[in-house]
A and B are shown apart, each in its own frame.
Chain A
Amino acid sequence: GNSVTQMEGPVTLSEEAFLTINCTYTATGYPSLFWYVQYPGEGLQLLLKATKADDKGSNKGFEATYRKETTSFHLEKGSVQVSDSAVYFCASSGGSYIPTFGRGTSLIVHP
């Protein structure tokens, strides 16, 4: 079956540091890949997505590239801010309209 594995948190960084959150997936076929963000007390919001190999999704300074050869979709940001503190979820589309989510990675950014 499909699965998504992302690095465990919390990830703790100082403001303006470089961020990487690793995500790998297993799936049959060619799923779409997603990153969602959840701020405290809120639901998940779509951050970015990529629908095919070598696609790069980007939004709000975050980027992730769909790497078919390594089955990865790592999230990166060049310079994090305190306001980026949140929980980040990697997800893949499922063949039967049921997406598969990773367990979430908490990011804490200190001033």
Chain B
Amino acid sequence: EADIYQTPRYLVIGTGKKITLECSQTMGHDKMYWYQQDPGMELHLIHYSYGVNSTEKGDLSSESTVSRIRTEHFPLTLESARPSHTSQYLCASRGDTTDGSYEQYFGPGTRLTVT
């Protein structure tokens, strides 16, 4: 059972509002990720972090920002929401395994609608 949480699960807000999507994990993983999932299901990496005070932009250009002040917490902020930000946002963390590989754990997602 993955111990990674996202809040809120659903959010409807008006254009121009500032919002923060929360993501927390209790597994002590250094590497964390934010994905945007479009209606066609494809995942787009928008931000990632290798550890505290490390953040990088992903492949998809995004107007959001992230911070990583604590290992367990990786919030995503939109300073001014627009209808084009309407999407499903998935947070994930990655833990190394004893076979030299890794496993990625996903939160349940936040479905954001900007009106």
Contact = CB atoms under 8 A, between A and B. Distances in A.
Interface residues of A, number: 22
B90 interface: yes
Contacts of B4: 43
Contacts, number: 54
A49 B90 contact: no
Interface in B68-108: 90, 92, 94, 99-108
A67 B101 CA distance: 17
A72 B75 CA distance: 36
A45 B2 contact: yes
B34 interface: no
Given A44-B90, A97-B50, A97-B94, A49 B41 contact: no
A93 B41 contact: no
A104 B42 contact: yes
Interface string A76-95: 00000000000101000100
A56 interface: no
A44 B102 CA distance: 15
Interface in A14-69: 32, 34, 36, 38, 41-46, 49, 51
Interface of A: 32, 34, 36, 38, 41-46, 49, 51, 87, 89, 93, 97-99, 101, 103-104, 106
Given A97-B31, A103-B42, A43 B109 contact: yes
Given A46-B103, A93-B102, A97-B31, A87 B41 contact: yes
Given A43-B108, A103-B40, 17 more contacts: A32-B101, A36-B106, A43-B4, A44-B106, A45-B2, A45-B106, A46-B103, A51-B99, A51-B101, A87-B41, A97-B31, A97-B94, A98-B48, A98-B58, A101-B42, A101-B43, A104-B41
